[in-house]
Amino acid sequence: MHSHHTISSESLDIVTIYNIFHNNKKLSLSAELEQKVVECKNYLDSKLAENESPMYGINTGFGSLYNVKISGADLTKLQENLVMSHACGTGDRVPESIVKVMLLLKIQSLSFGRSGVQLQTIQRLIDFFNNDIFPHVFTQGSLGASGDLAPLAHLALPLLGKGKVVHENKTYDAQEILAKFGWEPIKLEAKEGLALLNGTQFMSAYGVYLLLMSHKTSYLADIIASLSLDAFDGRLDPFHDLVHEVRPHPGQWKVARRVNTILEGSELSKQYKEHVQDPYSFRCIPQVHGATKDTLDFVEKVVLTEINSVTDNPNIFYEEDLIISGGNFHGQPLALALDYLKIAMAEIGNISERRTFQLVSGLRGLPPFLVDNPGLNSGFMIPQYTAASIVSANKQLATPASIDSIVSSNGQEDHVSMGANAATQAYNLIRNVERVIAIELMNASQAIEFRRPLKTSPFLEEFLVRYRAQVPYIKEDEVLHDDIQASIAFLKDLDIEIEELFLNTYGLDCY
């Protein structure tokens, strides 16, 4: 496996990013992009030397202070002040895995040669990435409009020898880490602070990470729903090709075919059914899970466009001899997409909890609460409460962040996207969905035991063997918290290798 990735003019995609992280690849800049960065910087330097007129953010103040002209002697101080004054994040620390994506996306955006930064500034960001040095970045503080100013200021601080970083699970002052690696602090030049702080890399890093989480969670939800369908003695008629030919949404097609493939060879699905219909939470799995998959495709298109774009300001078009102040840092496309992602993933949890409810309701020959001696034993009564509580919390988290806007910067920044709030809400929401489908897996695996000696499909029987190695069948009441936690851990630990094993054995695609 190649352990190196060259940032080039080719677009980044989700699979490439996944491979960079999964294989812990090191980054470098292509010669072509190095040249573009140097040419852009040389052009900016020559404009400053020959031009006394104000250029926003280059030799002026920022935000509503755009009219204040700064002398040439103070340009470095201006940029350093910008980074320090904007490092106003608070709340929880951003997970290091997401900070690493932020570094990658910042490197990518600055490397297009439209931002006027020094080559060594990008190189230092690459050094941080390659050596797993992660600045302390905080979840709260970005309006998602002038870019993610506060989080990106925290990302940039250690370049100047300020702020804190994590390296090999230990926290260092930035000065310490620079000394450890023998690096000098970067001396920011004109526009560089603004280039580092403007941009949507907090939101878009979350977007990339959330897509990877969502693809996996959505895939696992299909497997667990298929197990629930067999455990509930459900019918396969609603998954017939003809049903989906007459309403051919791509996600719906994909889910119906996947469920058929997962349940291939199941004795349970073949047995005679007394009932002619199943509740919607079983019958409409293709329509509900499928609509979420179509949403993921839309969100992925938005995120991929964003991460392969220049999102700082002003933009430098040196070939055309133009420096243009625009609004590419505004996070509205991401804010709307992340809100849509929240709604779509909340529904995976919503329908999962309904299947759990049906499984514990004493229907279809299953004992109430899936336990041998109900009454003396409460069995699986309360995990459904837990799932219901989480699903309800997700309804609040799924409320759109993007419909809000609060004026900032003394009225200069009078409409903001709030996409950063959407990003952190989506992270919490999808973590919640992981918990809800883990509870469904607990219930479905328990219910399937009451169908013995009949078996489900070979695919699901193998899945259950893996699961039972960590989570036992429940004979009588015990502390179910431990089993819920073990179920969540089981799903989290199903990494891509195991998904590939399933793919190779059963011909399933994991997305």
Q: What is the pLDDT along the chain (511 residues), one digit of tens a residue?
A: 469 999 999 999 998 998 899 899 999 999 999 999 999 999 999 988 887 777 777 877 767 777 777 777 788 888 999 999 999 999 999 999 999 999 999 999 999 999 999 999 999 999 999 999 999 999 999 999 988 999 999 999 999 999 999 999 999 999 999 999 999 999 999 899 999 999 999 999 999 999 999 999 999 999 999 999 999 999 999 999 999 999 999 999 999 999 999 999 999 999 999 999 999 999 999 999 999 999 999 999 999 999 999 999 999 999 999 999 999 999 999 999 999 999 999 999 999 999 999 999 988 999 898 888 776 677 788 999 999 999 999 999 999 999 999 998 878 888 999 999 999 999 999 999 999 999 999 999 999 999 999 999 999 999 999 999 999 998 877 878 999 999 999 999 886 554 554 454 444 444 3
Residue 19 to residue 51: CA distance in whole angstroms = 45
The reply to whether CATH 1.10.275.10 applies to domain 4-199 is: yes
* Of 274, 205, 114, 136, residue with least CA distance to 419: 205
What lies within 8 Å, CB to CB, of 335 at 6+ separation is 144, 203, 401, 402, 417, 418, 419, 422
Fold of 206-312+324-406+413-506: Fumarase C; Chain A, domain 2 (1.20.200)
User: Which amino acid, one-letter code, is at 432?
Assistant: N
Token couple for 368: 């109430």
56 in active site = yes
- Phi/psi for 193 (5° steps) reads -60, -45
Supply the DSSP string of 313-328, one letter for each residue: SSEEEGGGTEEE---T
The boundaries of every CATH 1.20.200.10 domain in the chain are: 206-312+324-406+413-506
pLDDT value for 272 = 95
Residue 209 to residue 134: CA distance in whole angstroms = 16
How many Cβ atoms are within 10 Å of 51's Cβ, its own excluded?
12
The boundaries of every CATH 1.10.275.10 domain in the chain are: 4-199
Mapped onto helix, strand or coil, the DSSP state of residue 236 is coil
Q: Residues 78, 194: contact at Cβ < 8 Å?
A: no
pLDDT value for 500 = 56
pLDDT value for 511 = 38
Marked catalytic residue, from 56, 66, 172, 506: 56
